[in-house]
Amino acid sequence: MCLAMQGPIGRWILVAAVAVGMCAISAGPARAGRGHGKPAAPVDVRVDARPVGGGTFEVTLTATPRKRVSGLVLVLEGQTVTVGATAKGVKRTVTARVSLGALRGRDVVGSATVDLGSHRRRAAASVRVGEAAAALPPVRIVRLPDGTEAAEVRP
């Protein structure tokens, strides 16, 4: 045993190091890509829009399960459509009309919720209708002599 490990503090450090090592071993290898182990919804979701005139768009949500699901619910622009059990690869759609009114553009979000036995998963997608969002002007952070920081915006 190393001289640094002798005594009560050295033994405590050794026990702590072994405990950390055991936690790392029991955790297993890290998953690539995602930060957590929660499974994603087995459904592909796509939202498409086409203009119909007068600042109005027809928006369509398409959901395609990648495996058989015991329940499927589609949500688009306040509309909720309960489809029920759906086989793998069968496309389900819901369509809504979106009017911009005084807005120049906005994002429309749709989602599909699937039931897999006792579990429920949701996938979402969005589409921009109308004009693209305006880019924000560039901001430069300036540090003042007293240490405070200020955002400087120049047109």
pLDDT in tens, 111-129: 999 998 888 999 999 999 9
pLDDT in tens, 91-113: 999 999 999 888 888 999 999 99
pTM (whole model) above 0.85: no
**pLDDT exceeding 70 applies to what percent of the chain?**
73
d(CA 71, CA 81): 11
Among 44, 73, 77, 72, residue whose Cα is nearest residue 60: 77
CATH class for the domain made up of 43-130: mainly beta
Indicate the length of the chain as a whole number.
155
d(CA 93, CA 45): 10
| Domains of the chain, residue spans | 43-130
- In the prediction, which pLDDT does 153 show? 77
d(CA 135, CA 155): 12
Task: Provide the residue type at 63 as one letter.
Answer: A
d(CA 79, CA 95): 9
